[in-house]
Amino acid sequence: MYYLKTEQCFDAAHFLQGYDGKCHNLHGHRWRVVVEIKADTLQEGRQCRGMVIDFSELKHVLKDICDYFDHSFIFEKNSLRPLTLAALRAEDFCLREVPFRPTAEEFSRYIYETIQAKGYDLSRVDVYETPNNCASYGG
């Protein structure tokens, strides 16, 4: 089996609703995302001969996802009061609503499923919230 890895980072703010501790507060991270795909054969042909896929292609798939969240405020659906949300929107901040609690675990599954839906055979996605804390999702 062959394995290919690529990584990207994004900076964003979030908070964990209902969390009893400092992560209840609005705070930021530099999220580091490592994606690994697998294949049991390599491509034939000309451009991609001897490759699982071109690193450049995989890089762009992940970069598109990370760019969407970069320099945004990521919040869980229904976790902000309507007035708060309206005020943030009025400031024209980059807001990204997600249908899950924005933990490293949920992001690893979300990114896995988003890339899988594009037809890639993933083995795992690692999401680092800090250099020391990482959550992974695997098939």
Ligand X SMILES: Nc1nc2c(c(=O)[nH]1)N=C([C@H](O)[C@H](O)COP(=O)(O)OP(=O)(O)OP(=O)(O)O)CN2
Q: What is the amino acid identity at position 87?
A: A
50-57: Cβ within 8 A, 24+ apart = 52/2, 52/3, 52/4, 53/4, 53/120, 55/4, 55/6
Minimum gap (Å) between residue 112 Cβ and ligand X:
15
User: How do strand 95-98 and strand 122-130 relate by DSSP bridges?
Assistant: unpaired
Q: Considering 24, 27, 71, 113, which one is annotated as catalytic?
A: 71
Asked if 76 is an active-site residue, the reply is no
Binding site for ligand X (CB under 6 A): 16, 23, 27, 103-105, 129-130, 132-133, 135
Nearer to Zn ion, 23 or 39 (CB): 23
Asked if 44 is an active-site residue, the reply is no
Q: What is the amino acid identity at position 81?
A: R
Binding site for Zn ion (CB under 5 A): 23
Minimum gap (Å) between residue 135 Cβ and ligand X:
6
Nearer to ligand X, 102 or 120 (CB): 102
Nearer to ligand X, 103 or 114 (CB): 103
